[in-house]
Amino acid sequence: MSAYAQLCSTLEAAASPDTTIRRPADDQLKQWEEEPGFHSLLQDVSVDRNIDPRVRLLSTIYLKNGIDKFWRRARSTGKITTEEKAKIRQKLLSVLDEDNEKIAQQTSVIIAKIARTDYPNEWPSLLHELIEAIRTTYTTNATTLSARHAQVQFRALTTLYLVVKALCSSRLPAGKKMFQQVSPELLQYTGTIFTEQSDRFLAHAEALVNGQVVDLLPAEFNVQIAVISLKILRRVIVYGFATLHASPDALNVYGLLLNYLSKFVQLLNLVSKATYPKIYKCLTSAVMQIGKIYLDFQGRDVYGFVSAPGSTDALKYYWSHLEAGGTVGDKPTTEKFLVQGMILLRRVVKNKDLAEPPRSAATLDATSVSAVDVPSIRRLLQTELLTEAFVRKSCEVLVVRYLKWSDEELSNWENEPEEFVAEVDSDAWTFSVRPCAEKLFMDLMQTNRTLLQPFIMTVLQSISPSSDPNDLAALLMRDAIYCAVGLAASDLYDFVDFDVWFRTSLASEAFDTNPRSKLIRRRVAWLIGQWLPVKGTAAGRREVYPVVLHLLGDADLVVRLTTVVTLKDIIDDFDFEPADFLPYLDATIERFVGLMKDVEEFDSKVKVLNCLAVLVQRLEEAIKPFAARIVSLLPELWQDAEGQDMFRASIVNMMAGLTSSLKEDSMQLHEFVIPVIDYSVNTGNPAHVYLLEDGIELWLAVIRNATACTEPLLSLFPHALGLLEYGSEGLKKTLAVVEGYVILAPALVLQTYAPDIASRLAEMLGSLRPQASNSILRCLDVVLHCCYSQGLLDALLPTVLQTQIFEKLIRSIMEGTELGVILVGYITVLARVALYQPTSFWQVLQSIGAKWGMPTLPASFVSKWCELFDQMGHGKQRKLTALALANLVGTADPAVIARLDCILPILSSVILDLKDLDRDAQLIYTYEALSDAEDELCADAQRRATLTGHDPVQGIDNVALFVGQKLKEFEAAVGSAQFQQILSGIDGLVVRDLMQLLN
């Protein structure tokens, strides 16, 4: 059996619905996919029209997937050879007359995928071949097309669209340049096709609307071709020219778009969607595509957009529909159309590029209007569009028509309250009319404050003190006006006294129990969140809290959830005073507990949890009496949230805040918290992707506030070692966790895990950025300090030495492979060993020197150490170095004797620095700054303070006395005569200065 027949047989089996037949065939195809020639053979099957279409389609899909997988690979490792690629490319454009729609679509996708990598270097003729295919079929078309020519034209245009779309997403400069070179030709053909096919379709449509009998096939074909060519034009106009103004042809085509847009919009309201579904769908697509051309062009070059012919007219056209409130086809199409119009207006109402000349104007092309006439462009907008009358009218239309809730939104409020709140809070303003209108209104207010402030105040004052709750239209209007005042809170700062407004009006409206008044109750809750952080006084806040508490217990779920968001905002505000809120805390927690039981959606529960987390954080220790009630909610919530990892992340985050607030009392939470940490930081658990960051925060809070290292808490420690190896983004906090464990239970942790800790730290040294390296060195410093304080250094040093961590530090110092600041950190770690156990220090250096075949390593290392002294900026590092070197001098080791001339000036320098300083002034030589995340009142901070108290660097106040003692030990070890002889070989001034300081 030939390879071709074998492949056809296997593909036929792979298309079988029987899994026992399909699976072996799939395995065989997977095995073949790396064989040379396999993909070109797949293509042969794909283009063979004598084969079952199912097999051909499957072959085409396999070819597409193979191109995704293997086409981009380097030639040395690729499974598709250069020759095979050329063969595939050559045959792809020969099947533009393919009858099978699905196969044709997949083939077009294949061409686009290859074009993205191979154009222009490997396939420079692609665009010209597609244009030629279109040109040949199009010139054949006088009045009608043959079926084959129509098919080729449709396929070629579809393929060209996908190719152009792929090329526009390419970042390669060569591809962009080539695309811009061929864009004029693309513009010529696609522009002509669009206008001619649109005109033909409009002629058919006019007859159709007038009730004449029309052959639908030509009309459908014309509008389909027009839409595809319009999609190509969108990319060509926006991405095909460095500046559109450099191409008169492009400007001409662009200027025609508004005429066709108005005709298409008119037809959408006349053509029945049910009767002519294809035509209706294409008309909708055409309207959206023209809008996208305006949006894309405006987004890339707002100056060029404003000055291009037809742009200001297009903006006025969109605004006319917004002002009239008319429909554009069905409701979804109308909404998309209106949103497009609002976004276009937003970008000219408030645009930082229009507010001042562009910084890069000097570098723009000389033919670009953007580079030469920016002031006139801004004047054009002010005179042609953004006049005072337009701004006032647009503000009025937005408030009266578009800030009101729609019937659909009100229905959603009634039937799906939680979904309603989620949609309102989602900020999906690019998809919905009302949120987009809010954004446009805010932009108008911010850019036209002086003009619009009086108008908004007039509208607000026009509201009657009380309104009929049964008058829904009046309630909706009242709500819309309140919405406008809330959105413009910053702009109306000097016009609205919120405390007075709240006291005289809003507070009473919040207590209106009429069911329909829930619209206003919700808006009052929202207004509090908008205004209180902007213009809230301490007295006003105290008046607001009971109202907020009342709204938290409202009968309507939307009102309650909105109030939760508001409460979070006002608690998280800088001016929030916890003491003022304490009287309402008990009832608030009770409301939260009830609300958590009433809501079903996880989004709603997240809102409640987030608010609770902020409350816990801001009230700190005042939350302690309510901790048990809060924690009682969590196990069931955690269990119910199976698979909802984002919700579980909120629980973890809230628990971290509660743990920090409870301080030592947080031990009572461990029964629930420790399994949560285990679940969150276990890298073998797929959910760790979502929970790891919050899980480490919780773990760190637990460690810092724990009073004892219980067995369950210690059982988590291997996860910390695993995370160090994992190299997560939370490395600094993971190291802080390791530090916390070592300080919490030094003997227990170090006797078990010291070698593993040292091994992990050794692996990371030298491969990280300076900030991360500093965190590692700090952790290593803590480990050594705890070893010393617990008397474990002698026992653990040989084991730690086997991890090669000291060898790595010493090698980096000797070779100077790191930045100076990092090398100083390395020296500081080794200085600890020298200060704690000088004999062990020399043994480490001698052992490594023997391993390297470098017996002079100890003396060479001391020389390097002395050279780095001047790079030590922190007083603690300088003092530690002086103490460590003095300690080494006391050993009278030959390495010290050989470098005593370098050591003595360092000792003199530090003694002189500390001379005449009192104990407080010397703190800079012992103080270790806390990070922003460390709490001075937590148990960990107290343990660190105790540990620091045992640090010789802090304990030795009189460095001169310590140095003098070590010099005496040195003299005793070598003898007085030898001592004097050694000193005589050193610069007399150095020796004299030191002796004067010592005396």
The residues, ordered by sequence, that sit 6+ positions from 979 with a Cβ below 8 Å of its Cβ are 970, 971
- pLDDT tens string 468-493: 778 889 999 999 999 999 999 999 99
**Euclidean distance between CA atoms 531 and 797, whole angstroms:** 62
Torsion of CA 487, 489, 492, 494, to 10 degrees: 180
Pick from 416-420, 796-800, 858-862, 864-868 the range whose average pLDDT is largest.
416-420
| pLDDT at position 937 over 50 | yes
Residue 63 CB neighbours (<10 A): 23
Angle at 113 between CA 291 and CA 10, to 5 degrees: 130
pLDDT for the residue numbered 961: 87
The residues, ordered by sequence, that sit 6+ positions from 440 with a Cβ below 8 Å of its Cβ are 342, 345, 346, 349, 394, 398
pLDDT for the residue numbered 928: 54
- pLDDT tens string 297-346: 999 888 889 989 899 999 999 999 999 887 787 888 899 999 999 999 99
| pLDDT at position 372 over 50 | no
Instruction: Place 974 in a pLDDT band, splitting at 50, 70 and 90.
Output: confident
Distance, C-alpha 924 to centroid of its chain: 39
Residue 945 CB neighbours (<10 A): 10
% of residues, the chain, pLDDT over 90: 41
| pLDDT at position 358 over 50 | no
Angle at 437 between CA 431 and CA 441, to 5 degrees: 145
pLDDT for the residue numbered 144: 53
Residue 955 CB neighbours (<10 A): 10
pLDDT for the residue numbered 364: 44
pLDDT for the residue numbered 476: 93
| pLDDT at position 359 over 60 | no
Q: If 0-12 CB within 10 Å is exposed, 13-18 middle and 19+ buried, where does residue 321 land?
A: middle
| pLDDT at position 59 over 80 | yes
pLDDT for the residue numbered 775: 82
Q: How does the average pLDDT of the chain come out, rounded?
A: 86
pLDDT for the residue numbered 927: 47
**Mean pLDDT along residues 8-29:** 91
pLDDT for the residue numbered 25: 93
Instruction: Place 233 in a pLDDT band, splitting at 50, 70 and 90.
Output: very high
| pLDDT at position 361 over 50 | no
Instruction: Place 75 in a pLDDT band, splitting at 50, 70 and 90.
Output: very low
| pLDDT at position 946 over 80 | yes
Instruction: Place 587 in a pLDDT band, splitting at 50, 70 and 90.
Output: very high
**Euclidean distance between CA atoms 164 and 803, whole angstroms:** 57
**Euclidean distance between CA atoms 36 and 29, whole angstroms:** 13
pLDDT for the residue numbered 263: 95
**Euclidean distance between CA atoms 43 and 28, whole angstroms:** 17
The helix or strand, by DSSP H or E, that contains position 865, with its residue range, turns out to be helix 857-868
% of residues, the chain, pLDDT over 70: 93
pLDDT for the residue numbered 528: 95
Take residue 361 and report the two structure tokens written for it: 């104007």
Q: Under a CB-based contact definition with an 8 Å cutoff, are residues 781 and 829 in contact?
A: yes
**Mean pLDDT along residues 23-44:** 91
**Mean pLDDT along residues 586-591:** 91
pLDDT for the residue numbered 413: 95
Instruction: Place 675 in a pLDDT band, splitting at 50, 70 and 90.
Output: very high
Q: Under a CB-based contact definition with an 8 Å cutoff, are residues 201 and 286 in contact?
A: no
CA 496, 500, 505, 510 torsion-angle sign:
positive
Could you write out the three-class secondary structure of 500-568? HHHHHHHHHHHCCCCHHHHHHHHHHHHHHHHHHHHHCCHHHHHHHHHHHHHHHCCCCHHHHHHHHHHHH
Instruction: Place 740 in a pLDDT band, splitting at 50, 70 and 90.
Output: very high
| pLDDT at position 926 over 60 | no
Q: Is the peptide bond before 248 cis (omega within 30 degrees of 0)?
A: no
Q: Under a CB-based contact definition with an 8 Å cutoff, are residues 774 and 738 in contact?
A: no
Q: If 0-12 CB within 10 Å is exposed, 13-18 middle and 19+ buried, where does residue 295 land?
A: middle
> Residue 874 has what DSSP assignment?
S
The residues, ordered by sequence, that sit 6+ positions from 143 with a Cβ below 8 Å of its Cβ are none
Please give the radius of gyration of the chain, using alpha carbons only, rounded to the nearest integer: 38
| pLDDT at position 204 over 80 | yes
Q: Under a CB-based contact definition with an 8 Å cutoff, are residues 39 and 88 in contact?
A: yes
| pLDDT at position 731 over 90 | no
- pLDDT tens string 814-825: 988 888 888 888
